[in-house]
Chains A and B, each alone.
Chain A
Amino acid sequence: MSESRSNEAATKRGFGRRSLLRSGAAAAAVSAAAATGCDSRPSTGTGQRWGMVIDLTKCFGCHACSIACKSEQQVPLGFFKSWVITAEKQRPGIAAREFIPVLCNHCEQPPCVAGCPTGATWQRDDGIVVQDDDSCIGCKYCVQACPYDVKYADPLSKTAQKCDFCVHLVDQGFVPSCVNTCNARARVFGDLNDPQSEVSRLITKRRAQPLRPNAGTEPRVFYIGLDPATYEAARRSTDSVPSVGTAGKRG
């Protein structure tokens, strides 16, 4: 873990928005991969590029991640930065349920960053999309811009809020809280730029795919065993967990 990189990022924070295209070549490679549905592992760069793989064949929807996030991030009631969509699939004669944990995708092309007029939402060199409360004016453009509905406007602080991969932990050498407590060990966090990292290997071997690859945002959270139709149907549903009577709110 490079202290200097994060320090560098911190000092640049005051200048506002981070460069959107950290590596044109890498981004192009990823776009092509996403479009063809082939290996979407980003090409190797020099620094770290943090990302996550979530193995849906292991996730059993326990919500330990949801609550770990509430606790670590002090998320107020009524909102979640990390959430498990519990998708009921019902056709006559068939009942099934699937679990899809969702969080900020820390996209390579983050529309929330592009849509932020003050630079309060910005992207670090290591790819983590972060949020600076001091310069957020609460306009909610970023909330609208996110195609994954994982940002919310906190009515108390009047600022936009989202998952930041627990950047305060990552910068100290620890995994995000949701990864640390994941009972299925379905969540793996690591450096996408390192081809030997477990995330990179899983993406290749298990054909992990991001959510909504056609949205052009190049998400850096990848899913093993994702059925895109299930996700699309569930995210349109107003209450993703009617079966257990949950609040069912996303981000």
Chain B
Amino acid sequence: MMPTNSAIGPRSSRRGMLRTLSAWAGLGAVGAAGGFDGLRPRAALAGPVVAPSSDGVVDPAVSDLARRGVHGYRGRSVNSSVAGDARSGVPTSCLQCVAICGLVGYEQDGRIVKIDGNPHAPNNRGMICAKGQAGVNQVYDPDRILHPLVRVGRRGEGKWKRISMAEALDLVAFGGEIAGQKVQGLKDIYESDAPEEFMLHYGRSRIKGALNHFCKTGFGTSTIGNHTSICETGKWVAQELTIGKHYDINDAANSRYILVMGANVLEAHTSHSYLAQRVIDGHANGAKLVTLDVRLSNTAARSDEWIPVRAGTDLAFVLAMIHVAMHEQPHGAPLYSADFIKRWTNTTVEDLKTHYAPYTPEWASDECGVAAETIRRIAIEYASTKPATLITYRGFVGHYNGTYAEVAAKTLEAVTGNLMIKGGTHRKVSGSWADAYAEVAKKHKSATRKAKKLALLDGVDVHLPTHHVSQWMFENLASGEFGRPKLYMTYCWNGAYTCGDNARTREILQDESVVPFFVAVDVAMSETTELADLILPDATFLERWTTEAPQSYELTKFLQLRQPVAAPLGEAMDMQDIFIQLARRIGGGIAELHSFDTAGEYVEACARLTAKKMDASGKPLYGVDGKPVSGDIWQYLREYGVLWQSLESDYMAHEHRVSDSDLKSALIDPTTKTVWNPAKAKVSPEDARTKGYRGSKKAYKGYVGQVVEGVAYKGFKPDKFNKSGLVEIRSEFLAAGADLVWRDLEAAVREDETFLADHLRSGFACWVPIPEHRMRSGNELVLISFKVNVQIHSRSQNCKWLQEIHHQNPLWLHPKTAQRLLGDIDEGDLVSVTQAMPTLPGDSRQSTAQARTVTARVHLTEAVHPDVVALSFHCGHWAYGRYASGSRMSADLTGSQDGAEEAWWQEGQPAATPETARDWSNARGVHPNWIIPNTPARVSGQFRSNDTLVEVARA
């Protein structure tokens, strides 16, 4: 059954519609209070926006307006009158970026006409960012892929033949011929003894349940690639080592001091825009906002203080802050929290004092270039202004030393007592859906498989790749040592653009001997998808079903629904439906396991199962009015888009006591004082006794709690390592990578830094210079890339309204540096940027990029550190449709940004004046990754987006 219109299902009931749309009337509705002044976000959350009368019935006069909603949509030619055509509001979830804001999509006559924020969604509270507002452009991109395309020319040549969806699915399932070459389909691979030779590579999935069910449980492959190392894996690994699991929540709205380091939180944080909203709220409430960055981002510009640092030295700054917190007493009392250190860390005040003794502000000043008195002042301000929160991101961790930096950040937050308190930094809190596929798998146990995988994903010589090393996957694929998939399928993944060394990535993907059958599922002809053999048209996020439970910035647990605002265009299909269709073609066990006919049915089953499980445990699901929902849960979700599993903000969650029932059949590990249940971790009693918690394989899966001063608390639960329930700011898992790191550092450190060898082995955060930067000549600069407020990383450049604002990216260069290196140069002049990254003596991995040079126009500005040049990330597309690339299909791959002089938008193009002529040329910009090597950071495998040394010359 094809999941087209029927997958959308019927509209809400009449009664539901009334309530729903009164809700969707949203922040703008004039309530009983009158005027437009009840519009503050919290007011909207407090209850229905359209006030019900005393008997609970919505005032018909108001509801009539509300039925039309915020949606008096009118044709573009009418400016001053109200056409009043009805728009229907459909609550759903954004997926322009991974923040997953709650949306209301407005649909009119089958067309999605507008998106706004869902006022009931607790994170974004009715507001959404520019990227979300432009989500409509994803659906109606004139170059969108709407039908399957099969390659008829060479790979990447751009010659395609349209086939039907049924033919395309047959080709994936049964194999066939691509441009005269025979390819093997999924059925053969499924029936072979090597199902791991099917690889699925996603960039942004959000369909973990269906994806793992098809690939792992059904097919038997866990050769599943992701993209995390491109962004933030250095941060995640550090958090798993210290606070136990990845994703930290900055309770910025309640902070009194917000310190931002290498994060552009007001433009591009992973929790944009709702963390940005809360930073602004906190700041408006009197918090001081301080930003450390090599560049004056909009975040730095909005801050009370911008502190420019040398690239890759934020770590030195944080180490000195810890030093000050441990050693200095400006107000006559310690700045550190002796109580938190004693109760909740795995070290002591004395050991911390000893370890951090060398990292004085004077020492750090030499490394990061910030005056010692500034470092000392910020440290004292931060440590003595509680609550404080520290926000870090890719500018902080996109370096060789990123994991050490994040461990230091978590150390600073721990020793100053700013973890888990209101206004501080928290572990992730989110709701959890029950997975209906897990129930299906239980019923059809014999059809399930234990998945195997090819060892392609974890890089080479990377110490703790807990989130894989996706940028190095291609090199591993090329080497052949790790096996190769027979069928490589990509989903929401544009690795050919987002990884470094683009020329090399392209070369590997184009080689049919390396990748025999390449299937891409995509909405747009991306740089990756254009290299595929077969393209399946993906549904956009406004046409899909998904169970969402975003990280909660209110620290409550809530569920959010993504439902189609309109049916997928053309033959586009939700990936979860593609899995169902493929499973049924493959047949056998995997078909049996795909018992739902559509993604919509599956998501509905998840909702009902969640409600059933909650009910069985005696816990209600709460609605937007804060009361338990008594009626049909599924109907409620479809009408409001959101449901709560808990309403209280979960502050101090680590101090919750372990329940007596959880303590049953649990052990206390004598070394770590960790309470764990070996059976739950599938550890034998024998192993549990002899190897203990630390030494037993995946013992963390049986974690129950942590004993502190004789009481078992929930503590800081581990997720990847057998760490205790304490904040391990001294990590034996980190220390175990010391030799690997020292190999790179040995030749780079100065004579007075040989103590670092011991420091690396200590397990504490310690100074790790960027090794190549120690070999830097005076003329070399550090190239960093950054994100802007109107673009997501790589998949929003088909959105015309975003691209209109940001489609060119000059190279930021400090005027003094420009004068020193280039003499007299004018704003807008062309310069070449040539990679000058030395190969580390101890590193056998390829560490250069094939393309050595890109050209860019220069932007002379004091808003960048004199040692740094900066390029925004999103530009320089050579595919992705007309808005991104400047032409529908461009073959110019050299990185020259001037190949797209033609006007790339037609509608309403203004007459060329000298002013606009400059603006409208150079439409494409330049992509920095051509010259950024893929060599992963040693500890986490992080893509080192901000470490590349370059020389800049006139072009």
Contacts and interface: CB of A to CB of B under 8 A. Distances in A.
Contacts of A36: none
Contacts of B323: none
A29 interface: no
B406 to A, nearest CB: 25
A168 B128 contact: no
A53 to B, nearest CB: 11
Interface string B797-808: 000111011111
Nearest to A241: B805
A94 B62 CA distance: 53
B807 A243 contact: no
A164 B280 CA distance: 28
B287 interface: no
Interface residues of B, number: 88
A198 B68 CA distance: 26
B130 A156 contact: no
Contacts of B65: 172-173
Nearest to A153: B910
Q: Name, among B74, B789, B804, B872, the residue most crowded by chain A CB atoms within 10 Å (CB to CB).
A: B804
Interface string A95-136: 111110000000000000000000000000000001111000
B308 to A, nearest CB: 9
B806 A246 contact: yes
Interface string B779-815: 0000000001110000000001110111111101000
Nearest to B297: A97
Contact of A179 (B39, B114, B808, B875): B39
A57 interface: yes
A71 B134 contact: yes
Contacts of A249: 910, 916, 919
Given A10-B81, A242-B810, A64 B129 contact: yes
Contact of A175 (B39, B277, B920): B39
B326 to A, nearest CB: 34
A42 to B, nearest CB: 15
B877 to A, nearest CB: 14
Interface in A197-251: 197-199, 238-239, 242-249
Contact of A172 (B41, B68, B77, B306): B68
B276 A79 contact: no
A58 B284 contact: yes
Contact of A131 (B80, B302, B800, B920): B80
A228 to B, nearest CB: 19
A155 B908 contact: yes
Contact of A245 (B35, B36, B299, B925): B925
Nearest to A52: B36
B706 to A, nearest CB: 38
A88 interface: yes
Interface stretch (B255-263, B422-430, B477-485, B857-865): B857-865
B76 interface: yes
Contacts of B80: 13, 130-132, 164, 167
Given A72-B114, A173-B65, A184 B280 contact: yes
B955 interface: no
A43 interface: no
A243 B800 contact: no
Given A57-B284, A90-B863, A171-B72, A180 B28 contact: yes
A144 interface: no
A146 interface: no
A120 to B, nearest CB: 9
Contacts of B908: 76-79, 154-156
Contacts of B862: 90, 92-95
Interface residues of A, number: 79
A1 B72 CA distance: 16
A49 interface: no
Contact of B40 (A57, A78, A185): A185
Most buried by B among A13, A181, A197: A181
A62 B273 contact: yes
A62 B35 contact: no
Nearest to B816: A92
B133 A68 contact: yes
B29 A97 contact: no
B28 A245 contact: no
B907 interface: yes
Nearest to A97: B301
A63 B62 CA distance: 31
Nearest to B905: A77
A169 interface: yes
Nearest to B135: A71
Given A198-B37, A246-B805, A174 B70 contact: yes
A57 B281 CA distance: 11
A181 B117 contact: yes
B915 interface: yes
A77 B804 contact: yes
Query: Most chain-A CB neighbours within 10 Å: which of B296, B827, B905?
Result: B296
A33 B246 CA distance: 55
B280 A243 contact: no
Contacts of B827: 242
Given A63-B790, A197-B37, A243-B812, A155 B910 contact: yes
Given A164-B80, A181-B116, A247 B859 contact: no
Contacts of A155: 908-911
Contacts of B127: 64, 180-183, 185
A46 interface: no
Nearest to B50: A173
Nearest to B117: A181
Given A57-B284, A63-B805, A78-B908, A174 B82 contact: no
Nearest to B791: A244
A180 B27 contact: yes
Nearest to A184: B280
B25 interface: yes
A133 B807 contact: no
A1 B276 CA distance: 33
Nearest to A176: B28
Contacts of A97: 296, 298, 301, 863
Given A58-B284, A156-B908, A169-B70, A1 B30 contact: yes
Interface of B: 25-30, 35-37, 39-41, 62, 65, 68, 70, 72-74, 76-84, 114-117, 126-130, 132-134, 136, 266-267, 273, 276-277, 280, 284, 296, 298-299, 301-302, 306, 788-790, 800-802, 804-810, 812, 827, 859, 861-863, 872, 875, 905-911, 915-916, 918-920, 925
Interface of A: 1, 10, 13, 57-58, 60-64, 66-68, 70-74, 76-79, 86, 88, 90, 92-99, 130-133, 154-157, 159, 161, 164, 167-169, 171-175, 177, 179-185, 188-191, 194, 196-199, 238-239, 242-249
- Top 5 closest A-B pairs, CB basis? A76-B908, A174-B28, A130-B80, A97-B301, A175-B28
10 contacts: A60-B299, A97-B301, A157-B77, A164-B79, A181-B128, A185-B277, A198-B39, A242-B810, A244-B809, A245-B806
Given A61-B301, A133-B77, A181-B133, 9 more contacts: A63-B789, A64-B129, A96-B296, A155-B908, A173-B30, A181-B127, A181-B128, A239-B918, A244-B872
